């Protein structure tokens, strides 16, 4: 019995160490993703004033619309943290509900972004118009693609937890997903400030 | 058996507090930046000049990034060999080099650029090159 519990403890410790390694590997990926976004920000900053015959950034964006988008994404990030806490206290129902709210808010955010894009294109301000708009669509669109990937990941996590419960691998993946989702919110702070706020001045 | 459970509960409460604080602080910082820009735009650019507003906006963003890194991404809460923190600082260094370096080089290039009209003017003045 004693021997059995010891191997069990050893196994738990090994699992914990493996999970910590996975988390670190994922963190390194997130940091390289930061560098990707940094290069897109650099492109945007350089090309910002090269508007050709297209519109300038001032007056192009609806500030109220962007504020709602931002609050939605921020709330989604917070609710994702709640899902992690619910999983830590082994509350399966709450974890699934919080994850579903996270995905719903994320999907609304993405829908609003796509609406903004289609509105811009409809007005004749597509990515072909000027270097400024090319850089804008690339930067904001890359963030949107990440959100889409996160939504697919979040939905598959919900399916995994509903089917298999809060097992070790599900909790580990939820931890990685929350890092990814919070990271996207941090990137959005820069987009919100540089593109939408400073760009509207 | 009951002791680790109690401390787990305590820790859960603390991280809940951290999430709530991060959420409220981020909301305030976001709405603050929005109000600053919105009043500036609706009052037809009166009041503070860009030289003041842009550093304030950058400061608000920086504070929010730090708040979210600590409250949501748990930066600095790992135990001693702090590899995550090390990688983060390395990434920040790369980001600064990429962004500021690009802006610097491109601004420098633009300084050396000559507009086509200037070339025509020069040629007319000098009667050719």
pLDDT digits (tens, 9 = 90+) for A31-43: 999 999 999 999 9
Among A23, A183, A198, A199, the residue to mutate for chain B (most B Cβ within 10 A)? A198
What is residue B47's predicted lDDT score, i.e. its pLDDT? 64
B75 touches chain A (CB under 8 A): no
d(C-alpha A162, C-alpha B36), whole Å: 45
What is residue B129's predicted lDDT score, i.e. its pLDDT? 63
Asked if residue B87 lies in contact with residue A28, where contact means CB atoms within 8 angstroms, the answer is yes
| Threshold 0.90, pTM exceeds | no
Q: Percentage of chain A with pLDDT > 70?
A: 98
B25 touches chain A (CB under 8 A): no
Q: What are phi and psi of A199, to 5 degrees?
A: -65, -20
Residues B3-15, mean pLDDT to the nearest whole number: 64
A38 to B31: CB separation less than 8 angstroms, yes or no: no
Can you tell me the ipTM of this complex?
0.89
What is residue B2's predicted lDDT score, i.e. its pLDDT? 38
A85 to B54: CB separation less than 8 angstroms, yes or no: no
Model confidence band, residue B1 (pLDDT cutoffs 50, 70, 90)? very low
- Sign of the Cα torsion A114, B95, B31, A99 reads positive
């Amino acid at each position: 019995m004693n021997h059995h519990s010891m191997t069990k403890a050893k196994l738990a410790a090994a699992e914990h160490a493996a999970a910590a390694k996975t988390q670190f590997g994922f963190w390194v990926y997130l940091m390289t993703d930061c560098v990707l976004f940094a290069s897109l920000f650099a492109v945007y900053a350089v090309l910002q004033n090269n508007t050709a015959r297209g519109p300038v950034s001032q007056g192009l964006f609806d500030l109220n619309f962007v504020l709602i988008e931002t609050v939605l994404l921020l709330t989604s990030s917070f609710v994702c943290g709640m899902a992690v806490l619910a999983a830590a206290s082994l509350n399966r129902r709450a974890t699934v509900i919080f994850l579903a709210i996270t995905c719903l808010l994320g999907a609304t955010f993405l829908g609003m972004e796509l609406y903004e894009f289609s509105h811009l294109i409809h007005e004749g301000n597509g990515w072909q118009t000027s270097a400024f708009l090319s850089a804008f669509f690339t930067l904001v669109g890359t963030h949107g693609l990440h959100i889409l990937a996160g939504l697919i990941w979040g939905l598959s996590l919900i399916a995994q937890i509903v089917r298999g419960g809060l097992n070790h691998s599900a909790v580990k993946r939820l931890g990685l997903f929350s890092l990814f989702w919070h990271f996207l919110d941090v990137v959005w702070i820069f987009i919100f400030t540089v593109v939408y706020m400073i760009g509207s001045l | 058996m009951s002791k680790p459970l109690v401390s787990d509960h305590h820790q859960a409460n603390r991280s809940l507090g951290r999430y709530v604080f991060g959420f409220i602080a981020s909301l305030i910082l976001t709405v603050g930046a929005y109000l600053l820009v919105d009043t500036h735009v609706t009052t037809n650019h009166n009041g503070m000049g860009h030289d003041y507003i842009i550093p304030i906006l950058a400061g608000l963003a920086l504070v929010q990034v730090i708040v979210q890194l600590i409250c949501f991404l748990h930066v600095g809460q790992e135990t001693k060999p702090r590899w995550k923190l090390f990688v983060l600082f390395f990434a920040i260094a790369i980001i600064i080099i990429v962004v500021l370096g690009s802006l610097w080089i491109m601004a420098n290039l633009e300084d050396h650029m000559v507009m086509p009209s200037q070339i025509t003017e020069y040629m007319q003045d000098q009667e050719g090159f």
